[in-house]
């Protein structure tokens, strides 16, 4: 899986260039650039809206006494979708749009949940009474009795 993501990351610029060429040939230069700008603006607006609503959603979920795992995952996926829309390119924009579809987010959440194992760790510290420290005797030397090693 890691290798596939690494190869996709390396291939991403080539995929974006190919998309620009194909779409540019189909609809022209200016509509192609306008499409990229519209996707970026939509991503910025979505990210702004998501930042405001995430706090309210988490507060409601915690207020009901539930762990906000699903709402946190949805929030992160919508935030990732917004970032993918901001990144210039049609392929990343398509990935961002796919992440905005709730059934696809649910399927991705179920897939991630089946592959991730949650491990809880605890730590403790004690601030109680400590026994007094026993001081060793101090040996006093004159300067002629001491030499550096």
Q: What is the mean pLDDT of residues 13-32?
A: 94
* Residue 84 near residue 47, CB atoms below 8 Å: no
pLDDT at 28: 94
pTM score = 0.68
Q: What is the mean pLDDT of the chain?
A: 84
Domain spans of the chain, in order of start:
11-115
Neighbouring CB atoms inside 10 A of 63's CB total 8
pLDDT at 82: 87
Residue of higher predicted confidence among 103 and 1: 103
Dihedral (CA of 25, 27, 30, 31) sign: negative
Task: Supply φ then ψ for residue 101, to 5 degrees.
Answer: -85, 115
Distance CA 86, CA 76 (A): 15
Q: What is the mean pLDDT of residues 68-74?
A: 81
Q: What is the mean pLDDT of residues 54-67?
A: 79
For the cut 90, the answer to whether the pLDDT of residue 59 exceeds it is no
Q: Tell me the per-residue pLDDT of 111-144, one tens digit each, with 9 for 90 and over.
A: 988 888 777 677 777 676 666 666 777 777 777 7
């Amino acid at each position: 899986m890691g290798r596939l993501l690494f190869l996709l990351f390396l291939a991403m610029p080539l995929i974006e260039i190919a998309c620009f060429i194909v779409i540019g040939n189909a609809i022209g230069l200016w509509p192609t650039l306008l499409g990229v700008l519209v996707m970026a603006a939509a991503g910025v607006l979505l990210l702004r809206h998501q930042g405001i609503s995430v706090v309210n959603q988490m507060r409601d979920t915690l207020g009901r006494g539930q762990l906000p795992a699903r709402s946190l995952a949805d929030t992160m996926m919508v935030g990732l979708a917004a970032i993918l829309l901001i990144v210039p390119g049609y392929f990343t924009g398509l990935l961002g749009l796919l992440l905005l579809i709730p059934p696809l987010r649910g399927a991705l959440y179920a897939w991630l949940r089946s592959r991730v194992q949650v491990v809880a760790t605890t730590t403790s510290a004690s601030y109680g009474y400590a026994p007094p420290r026993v001081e060793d005797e101090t040996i006093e030397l004159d300067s002629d009795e001491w030499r550096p090693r």
